[in-house]
Amino acid sequence: MEIRNIDETDTEQVADLFAACFSAEPWNEPWTSAAAHSRIAPMIRSETCRGAVAIHEHKIVGMAFGQVEGWINGNLFLLQEMCVMPNSQRTGLGKMLLDFLIEEVADRDNIIAIYLLTNRDVPAASFYSKHHFAASPKKIVMGASVRSILNAKSA
Ligand SMILES: CC(C)(COP(=O)(O)OP(=O)(O)OC[C@H]1O[C@@H](n2cnc3c(N)ncnc32)[C@H](O)[C@@H]1OP(=O)(O)O)[C@@H](O)C(=O)NCCC(=O)NCCS
pLDDT tens, residue by residue, 115-153? 999 999 999 999 999 999 999 999 999 999 999 999 998
pLDDT of 39? 98
Residue 95 confidence (pLDDT): 98
Q: How far apart are CA 5 and CA 78, in angstroms?
A: 16
- 124 CB within 6 A, ligand 1: yes
Where does the pLDDT of residue 114 fall: very low under 50, low under 70, confident under 90, or very high at 90 and above?
Answer: very high
Distance 154 CA to ligand 1 centre (A): 44
In DSSP terms, 77 is beta-bridged to 68, 114
pLDDT over 90 (residue 84): yes
Mean pLDDT of 53-59: 97
Distance 88 CA to ligand 1 centre (A): 10
Q: What spacing in Å lies between the alpha carbon of 48 and ligand 1's midpoint?
A: 26
Q: pLDDT band for 107, please (50, 70, 90 cuts).
A: confident
> What is the average pLDDT across 56-63?
97
Nearest ligand 1 atom, CA 88: 7
Q: Which long-range contacts (CB under 8 A, 24 or more apart) does 25-32 make?
A: 25/86, 26/122, 26/123, 27/122
Q: Does the predicted model carry a pTM greater than 0.85?
A: yes
Query: What is the model's pLDDT at position 61?
Result: 98
CB of 126 closer than 6 angstroms to any ligand 1 atom: yes
Ligand 1 pocket mutation pick from 78, 81, 90 by most atoms within 8 angstroms of CB: 90
Domains of the chain, CATH where assigned: 2-154 (3.40.630.30)
DSSP 3-state of 78: strand
Nearest CA to ligand 1 atom 5: 94
Q: How far is CA 23 from CA 14, 19, 28, 29, 113, in A?
A: 14, 6, 4, 5, 30
Is residue 28 within 8 Å of 12, Cβ to Cβ?
A: no
Q: Which residues pair with 107 in a beta bridge?
A: none
Q: Tell me what the pLDDT averaged over the chain comes to.
A: 96
User: How remote is the CA of residue 121 from the centroid of ligand 1, in Å?
Assistant: 13
